[in-house]
Structure 1
């Protein structure tokens, strides 16, 4: 349960709005039958690309204080969750962790400095230490020579963002939890950039599948694969290397039309068992409860203030610019901000994008896994001579 005491320091108006949002989230979790955390029976595991958390490089932020309460409310429903797009400055993440409470911990990579779409991002895991035991082993996945990713220029490279894995145990269940944020590039299937995307998925799947053959751990591979849909080349790259994907009838982008995010696994001796295996709705659409489209008028003053601040910054950048490139960039930014501010309609359009930088343009995925194998083990022991 998140730590709500800091809400006392918010103004009455803000506090009431935040409480209403939290209450709607909690009601939505109940409505969709999101699993409740059980001490010994099951593990709730997830994946979430928390958009650009949180360096404001796209000039839509930073996040409002209330957003941290909503993020904490969602993450608190998981025993362990892989996160993508954590930025260099960890102060926002530490702010989020303070709301989650002392039972939660995180493990992260350093930022990616690759010039090919790395974007100085981190990958990592947030976990409830009372439920999940980090086994002390974690590392980034570095490809051997024969698995390096070929480019159209004949060069061979590592991943744009290096995948990350850590060993965990919950109850009887031991697993290597790996997460990725696969290179995006172009969405045109005949482009070299899309080909690289597929090759990255193939490389990580092949590497982990080979490791699964000699490991006593279950392999769980999740993250933002930038997979278009089931049956696409990226999706097939997972399945042909032995990974089983958890099926969802709707996507994980904001309007649930794309299947970029996936949870997949290679089970050791059928140890990985889904609770409610017939479910195909393991995507949580938080925009049904917070930062709803209908909430635009609530945030209109906040957005106006934000745009005025960004406009002043852009004008200052223009005044200080000494090169044609910087002048053109500042002018373009000023024009964009002025266009967003010119009418209620343009502000509403801006709000639709702004709210994804408060929460995310990706939705969290989840699965509930069995972790109590006591009956099976007792049955095994009873058959021993």
Structure 2
């Protein structure tokens, strides 16, 4: 894992002030729904509030107690949270769990590509682990079936398996079953035009592989549940027709419910990296979804519209370079 740039000088702040700003931003009602960031309340009967968040290099560069407190506040708003970029060193993750209310529990896998783990944090007051868990892999004999060519001009390469196997975990909410695959698709080398093209193709194949897996499992007569979703950081450039990752992810029936916030999921406001992709049966069960741009309000005391570099470095390093994406699902 590559650490983000450390702010220089170090910025120290009052975590309570930042948390108050976050809550005010979350709860403020605007005339235009696209400007509102209202996140539904947890504990709604017949519903579950889900989020996915890439917490950049979580444990690779050491966050302070005040940083962990800000991150924990946001996580505490949800009932199931899929987290990407958890480092092999779990000290910061364990600090996070210690700060969260004690009704939260967690599960994570071993490190894979880029030295990363994936994790789920969940509210045990309403959510319990289901019987099915593991990782989504593609055995060698099945890899020839992972092909995708829609005339986009990307190189024709063989699928070699996931760089980071999606972390599979099942949950039960009010006797309803939900199966989630926590994904962080390969970004890959970007140093030359050839490597960028090869990386994009490998990512496209990973996107198609998870779409195919979701499709096959939901149609299987042996399915533990047909309520399946793939969530996480898909390194998706743009969630629209013509994007090679978007096309591959949706090829086997997955759908990306649109969020009213209509903002990118990275702090740089440039890409739709993070997604919650649901199988067709869950489309009509999606009540609401949105992106929470914590960066709109944190560290306002150092914001300078004419020189944003230092503020942006602080937002990314102390919190994350990704924004959480959430969904309210009904059963």
Q: TM-score by structure 2 length?
A: 0.81
- 2:143 pairs with 143, 147, 150, which one? 147
- 1:250 pairs with 242, 263, 266, which one? 263
Number of residue pairs matched by the alignment: 292
Tell me what 2:285 maps to.
Answer: 273
Q: Does 1:48 align with 2:53?
A: yes
CA contact (8 A) 1:219 1:267 kept: no
Q: Deviations over 1:28-57 (max 9, x none)?
A: 11112210112423210011000000112x
Q: Does 1:209 align with 2:215?
A: yes
Q: Deviations over 1:182-203 (max 9, x none)?
A: 0012576971111111111011
Q: Does 1:173 align with 2:184?
A: no
Tell me what 2:294 maps to.
Answer: 286
CA contact (8 A) 1:246 1:262 kept: no
Q: Does 1:24 align with 2:21?
A: yes
- 2:252 pairs with 227, 241, 261, which one? 241
Cα separation, 2, equivalents of 1:226 and 1:154? 19
SS of residue matched to 1:43: strand
How far 1:255 moved relative to its partner? 3.0
CA contact (8 A) 2:257 2:283 kept: no
Q: Deviations over 1:269-291 (max 9, x none)?
A: x6861224xx6xx0000012223
Q: Does 1:226 align with 2:232?
A: no
Tell me what 1:376 maps to.
Answer: none
- When the two chains are superposed, the root-mean-square deviation of aligned CA atoms in Å is 2.5
CA contact (8 A) 2:170 2:178 kept: yes
Cα separation, 2, equivalents of 1:173 and 1:46? 18
Tell me what 1:349 maps to.
Answer: 309
CA contact (8 A) 2:135 2:166 kept: yes
Cα separation, 2, equivalents of 1:251 and 1:212? 29
CA contact (8 A) 2:275 2:325 kept: yes
Unmatched 5+ residue regions in structure 2? Answer: 1-11, 29-36, 148-153
Cα separation, 2, equivalents of 1:34 and 1:274? 14
How far 1:124 moved relative to its partner? 1.7
Cα separation, 2, equivalents of 1:94 and 1:195? 36
How far 1:171 moved relative to its partner? 1.8
> Structure 2 vs 1, CA of residues 354 and 224 (structure 1 numbering), >3 Å: closer, same or farther?
same
> Structure 2 vs 1, CA of residues 158 and 63 (structure 1 numbering), >3 Å: closer, same or farther?
same
Cα separation, 1, equivalents of 2:157 and 2:237? 26
How far 1:69 moved relative to its partner? 1.0
Cα separation, 2, equivalents of 1:88 and 1:291? 29
> Structure 2 vs 1, CA of residues 153 and 250 (structure 1 numbering), >3 Å: closer, same or farther?
closer
Cα separation, 1, equivalents of 2:115 and 2:285? 36
How far 1:213 moved relative to its partner? 0.4
Q: TM-score by structure 1 length?
A: 0.70
How far 1:161 moved relative to its partner? 0.9
